[in-house]
Amino acid sequence: MAIRPILHYPDKRLRNPGQPVTHFDADLRRLVDDMAETMYAAPGVGLAAPQIGVSLRLFVIDVAASEDVPSQLRTFINPEISEMVGEKSCEEGCLSFPGIHEQVKRAEKVKVKAQDLDGNPFELEAEGLLAIAIQHEHDHLEGKLMVDHLSLLRRRLVHRAMLKRGPAEAAE
């Protein structure tokens, strides 16, 4: 396993939609292991493959609240959100926007269809933090970012804040 560099906004590669995963093999398992290690080291609750420069439809999530709670690592490959219910506004952060937290409107509940590491299909209904994380990471697979949910003014402020960080600070 290895910690991989996380792309930071405004890196244009974050806008590239992920391609479907077609090979369920040892390389995919290594990638998922690297993504989990990278996410935990950051630290974060989710990480999509495009955030580490890998243009695949894949993300990992672990919404365990603390180290005292057992890991709830979940892997979503080729996910599709099939149902969204309700609306909720909450503060979100993103590993590609270090130090930035914004109010984002999301669905309260989602139903997602995806594949596991062996390519087996599964379906999951989620609410709360898990539902928000699924929507957030799924956006990354579409080339959509947290700022795309903000007003034009907030988007500009976040853009300026990220540019001010500069490459050295953003790489931390």
Active site residues per annotation: 137
DSSP E strand stretches across the chain:
46-48, 58-61, 74-85, 88-93, 101-106, 109-115, 121-127
Question: Is the CB of residue 78 less than 8 Å from the CB of residue 115?
Answer: yes
Residue 50 and residue 140 in contact, taking contact as beta carbons nearer than 8 Å? yes
Give the integer Cα–Cα distance in Å for 40 and 3.
Answer: 9
Nearest to 20 by CA among 65, 80, 75: 80
